């Protein structure tokens, strides 16, 4: 909801509006994050999301006899719900947990490759990636995050079909990416692996190369074929296997 300002500069809901000058930026931010809500689709191996009300404003005021009430909700959520990133430990018991992972794996230079012509039951192969990179006119640099735009997530989410059938990386494709020196493979699907891949080849390769992956992104159509700054910072969860994130792309205007 957008607030409407009155003549004295305050919004109709009672707090000051931001003047247009404060919103002027020489960058564009694209939100790559899916909403967290009870009933959201999650991969079958993870905890479903539950949200309940801890207290309402009125309940707080009644219980604690205060003039101001505080509303708060409780979350029961998987480390891998919605838009999230993995620690290497999730797929390699000898790898670092999320609190021990290099923060640089979760932000920095990134590119997004358009592989949206690949739909289930097809796979994202090394050739598909090479062609997508060539078409983009971009290059992959050591330390990059590579985002893969499939369009499948935006097509089906929030239906449960989102977690059912989706394209994913072959082992050779994941190896091709890892050998470029990237630190993070990201996708707008529920997983970087193909839904038929019970070997979880993409995750295995990430474990072999000690890199991470990020899943459940959205709005990648807005950054496909571009280079930008990517941020997908995890929560500092002690011994965590992964974390929900607020992922964004920052592009120059």
Q: Is 145 within the bounds of a domain?
A: yes
Provide the pLDDT for residue 10: 46
Q: Is 26 within the bounds of a domain?
A: no
Q: Is 93 within the bounds of a domain?
A: yes
Question: CATH no. for residue 162?
Answer: 3.50.30.50
Domain span at residue 200? 84-252
In angstroms, the CA 1 to CA 4 distance is: 10
φ, ψ dihedrals at 50, nearest 5°: -125, 135
Provide the pLDDT for residue 16: 66
Q: In sequence order, which residues have a C-beta less than 8 Å from that of residue 54 and are 6 or more positions away?
A: 72, 73, 74
In angstroms, the CA 71 to CA 58 distance is: 8
Count of structural domains, the chain: 1
Provide the pLDDT for residue 5: 43
Q: How crowded is residue 239: how many other Cβ atoms within 10 Å of its Cβ?
A: 10
Q: Is 94 within the bounds of a domain?
A: yes
φ, ψ dihedrals at 228, nearest 5°: -160, 175
Q: Is 230 within the bounds of a domain?
A: yes
**pLDDT average per 10 residues of sequence, the chain (253 residues):** 43 62 80 97 95 97 97 97 98 97 97 98 98 98 98 93 95 98 97 98 98 98 98 98 98 90
Q: Is 175 within the bounds of a domain?
A: yes
* pTM, two decimal places: 0.89
DSSP the chain: -PPPB-TTSBBTTSSBPPPGGGG--SEEEEE--PPP-TT----TTSPPPEEEEEE-HHHHHHHHT-SS---EEEEE--TTSSSEEE-GGGT-TTS--GGGS-GGGGEEEEEEEE-TT--TT--B-HHHHHHHHHHHT----TT-EEEEE-SHHHHHTTSGGGGT----B-HHHHHHHHTTT-SEEEESSS-SB-TT-TT-HHHHHHHHHT-EEEE----GGGTTT-EEEEEEEEP--TT-SEEEEEEEEEEE-
Q: Is 150 within the bounds of a domain?
A: yes
Provide the pLDDT for residue 20: 64
Q: Is 16 within the bounds of a domain?
A: no
């Amino acid at each position: 909801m957008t607030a409407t300002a009155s003549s004295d500069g305050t919004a109709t809901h009672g707090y000051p509006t931001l003047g247009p000058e404060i919103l002027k930026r020489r960058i564009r931010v694209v939100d790559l994050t899916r909403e967290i809500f009870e009933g959201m689709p999650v991969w079958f191996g993870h905890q479903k999301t539950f949200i309940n009300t801890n207290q309402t404003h009125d309940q707080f005021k009644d219980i604690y006899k205060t003039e101001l009430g505080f509303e708060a909700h409780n979350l029961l959520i998987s480390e891998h719900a919605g838009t999230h990133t993995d620690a290497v430990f999730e797929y390699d018991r000898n790898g670092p947990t999320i609190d021990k992972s290099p923060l640089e794996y979760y932000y920095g230079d990134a590119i997004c490759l358009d592989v949206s012509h690949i739909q289930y039951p097809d796979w994202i192969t090394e050739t598909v990636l090479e062609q997508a990179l060539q078409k983009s006119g971009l290059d992959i640099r050591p330390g990059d995050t590579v985002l893969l735009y499939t369009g499948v997530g935006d097509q089906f989410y929030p239906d449960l079909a989102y977690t059912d059938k989706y394209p994913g990386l072959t082992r050779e494709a994941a190896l091709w990416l890892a050998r470029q020196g990237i630190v993070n493979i990201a996708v707008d699907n529920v997983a970087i692996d193909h839904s038929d891949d019970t070997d979880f080849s993409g995750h295995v390769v990430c474990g072999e190369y000690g890199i991470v992956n990020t899943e459940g992104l959205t709005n990648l159509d807005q950054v496909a074929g571009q280079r930008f700054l990517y941020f997908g910072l995890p929560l500092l969860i002690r011994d965590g296997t992964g974390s929900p994130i607020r992922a964004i792309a920052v592009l120059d205007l």
